[in-house]
Structures are given as structure tokens and as C-alpha cells.
Structure 1
């Protein structure tokens, strides 16, 4: 595989999502290099620690959900230099992966055993619309908390604001702490809302609205979408080797 073939794969895999969202803001490359790629590493975030793991595993190409953020002062500059010094290319894909049929939200819903996706996460008039999935049979809130904790391999935060069993689940992976999103889940009659970040306001509003709330980490609520993308990449290019560059549970 080379970057030309990879770019064709991204366009065919994401279709109009790469047109809907702006390149370089929501997806793109850092230090693109014209070489044959065999070793592909993947994870949620681009950090100096991730690049060190890539170097240790002789990775030539890193795929992440997030680019290195400018507001983490000097971290982005360090990442860019580390990529150059170690001759590693990097590709990130954010909102297109969130909104893809196999993307972050749907992958998490499938990971916790949802029977049917009834609403696809998407953007409408520049507003994020939550994903929704249903269980065939209701489960206890506590069982869902255990499922998510086991899937993410981390303790999650949970607020039981209703005694109802769980059948309809609303989700936005990552930074879905907006009260607007929780309100969508309430109006859609979801029994629980799941996301990857919280604030005082999200906790207060979920309690007021009487909707159960479960919050994991930003990193690990989104990793399943990255894994799904890489599985598709491996199916398209069976000569590559894919390596999970697992991050620490720091959140």
C-alpha cells in the first residue's frame, strides 16, 4: 500500500462524508511520505507517547481519530518533529469517522450488544445529531454500566436518574457533554445517554431531565470506530500489518 492507494480507499470508504467535512480541519495528513507501507499503527489520539510506541513497533504510518491539538501548547510541535525525525506518516479522520455507518458511535453501540441502530449520528444544519440504538429486550441499568466498563476496560461514571430498564440508548462518543445532545436523547425517549466527557452542566441537566447518564473516557469511547476503519483497510490491503498503539487510561 502507498498513500495514493490509501487516499483512494478513504474516498471510496467514506463517500460524500469527505466532501461534507473540510479537509485539514476534519481529516488529513501530517508528514506524508511516498513509500510502500507495510506497518500501520492506529489509536485514538496523536501524542508523543503514541509516536514512541510507533517507533518501537517499526510503524511507518499512523492512523488516528484526532490530529494533535494546537491548544495543547508545544505538544503538536513535538509530534510534528517526532514524525519527521522518525520518517513516519500520519493520517487523522475526525467527523467523517464519527458519522460513518461503521464509525465511532455505531461501533460503540455494537460493542455493547445493541440489536438495531435506529438513528445514525450525523450533522444537520451544522448541528450534531445523536446516534440511537435499541435492545430487543430491556436490560438493567447496572448491567449496561458493566457492559460499557468491560468494553472500555475502565471504570465509567454513571448516574441513575430513572428506575426504567434500558431499551433505547442514545450516544455521542467523545465530547458529547452538551446539554443540547442530552435534550435530544430525552426528546427521543432514550432510556440512557452515553458519551465520553461530562461537565457540571451535563450532570445537572441529565438529573433534571430524568435521563440516565453514563460517561466513559473520550479516548476509549472512540477507539472502536478507529478499529473498524483499520479492519476495512486490512481487508482492502492484506499485505499490511496493523498494530494497535494502545494509550493509557489517563482521563
Structure 2
């Protein structure tokens, strides 16, 4: 696969979501190495560590959900220097991957073996909305908690706020720590809200509203969306090898 092939594939996969965020710095190449792409590594975050791990795996392209954001002061420059040193191209896609049909919320629902996804996560009028799915046979608070910990392979913080089975679930992966997101889930009749970050106020509101709250890490609630993207690339170019970069669980409770 050539870099130009990959560039042509991204609009085909993301369609309207690339157009939605085309002026917002939400996707694109951080660095391009002019070489054939035979191995694609993927991770949630662009960090010096993920670049080094990609280099050790002999990757030609690193795909991530997050760029090295400017507010993580100085890290972007170090990452770009390492990408140049190892001649690894890097592409990230943030908001488009959150809302495309195979993206982060859908991917976590799939891992949870949800029976039906009734609403994809989406973005309308500058507001993001969680995805919603249904377990036809309800799970207990503890069963869903254990299932999440197995899938994410890390501790998951959980607050039990009612005593009936969990059937309807809302997911906003990553930074779903806005109480308005939990209010929306509650208004839709959800029994549980799953995300990757929390604040005092999101915990307070979930308790007040009577909806279970489950919080894994930002990194690992989102990795499966990146994995879905990497698999889409491999479907288009079967000769490409995929390598998942294992990131440290630095956010674990």
C-alpha cells in the first residue's frame, strides 16, 4: 500500500464525518515518510512511547485516535522528531472516528456483545450524543462491571445507583464526563452509562438520576475503534500486516 492509497481510502471510510470536521484539526497526517506501507501499527495515543514501540515492531505507518495535543506541552515536537528518526508515517483521526458507524462507541458495544445498537453516537448542532444499545436479557450491575474489566483488561470504577437489571446502555468513550451526556442517557431510559473519564459532578449526577456509571480509561475505552479502522485498512489492502501497540494503563484507578 502506498501513502497515496491510504489517503484516498480515508474519505471513502469516513465520508460526511471528514467533511464535518475538515477545518477543525481533527484528523490528518502528523508526519509522512515516503515509503511503501507494509506494516501498520495502531494505538489510541500518539506519544514518544507509542512511536518507539511502533519502531520496534518495524511499522511503516502508525494510526492513532489522538494527536499529541498542543496542551500536552512539548510532546508533539518530540513525537515528530522520533517519527522522522524512524521514518514512520503517522495519521490520526479524532472526532470522525468517534461518530463513524464503525467507530469508538460501536466498537465497545461490539466487544460487550450487545444484542442491538439502537442509536449510533453522533454529533449534531455542536453537541455530541452517546450511542445507545440494548441487552435483550438484562445483566446485573456486577455482571456488566466484570465484563467491562475483562474487555478493557484494567480496573473499571463503577457506581451502583439502582437495583434493577441493566438492559439499555449508553456509551460515550473517552472524555464522556459531562453530566449533560448522562442526563441524555437517563432521558432515553438507559440503565447504565459507560465512559472513559469522570468528574465529581458526573458521579453526583449519576447518583441523583439513578443510573449506573462505569468509568474505564480514556485510552482503553477507545482502542477498539482504532482497531476497527485498522481492520478496514487491511480489508482494502490485505497484504498489510497489523500490529496493536500495547499502551501502559497509566489512568487505572
TM-score by length of 2: 0.97
Which residue of the partner structure matches residue 52 of structure 2?
A: 52
Which residue of the partner structure matches residue 115 of structure 1?
A: 115
Which residue of the partner structure matches residue 183 of structure 1?
A: 183
Which residue of the partner structure matches residue 21 of structure 2?
A: 21
Which residue of the partner structure matches residue 3 of structure 1?
A: 3
Moved over 3 A (4+): none
How far off its partner does 1:24 sit? 6.2
CA distance in 1, matches of 2:209, 2:99: 26
CA gap 1:189/1:112 in 2 versus in 1, 3 angstroms: same
2:48 is the counterpart of 1:43: no
Which residue of the partner structure matches residue 238 of structure 1?
A: 238
Over aligned residue pairs, what C-alpha RMSD do you find? 0.9
CA distance in 2, matches of 1:21, 1:75: 24
Which residue of the partner structure matches residue 199 of structure 1?
A: 199
CA gap 1:23/1:54 in 2 versus in 1, 3 angstroms: farther
Q: Number of matched residues? A: 251
CA distance in 2, matches of 1:73, 1:8: 32
Q: Say if 2:33 and 2:84, in contact at 8 Å, map to a contact too.
A: no
How far off its partner does 1:23 sit? 5.1
TM-score by length of 1: 0.98
Which residue of the partner structure matches residue 208 of structure 2?
A: 208
2:130 is the counterpart of 1:130: yes
Which residue of the partner structure matches residue 154 of structure 2?
A: 154
Uncovered stretches (5+) of structure 1, i.e. residues with no partner:
none
Which residue of the partner structure matches residue 90 of structure 2?
A: 90
CA distance in 2, matches of 1:81, 1:160: 46
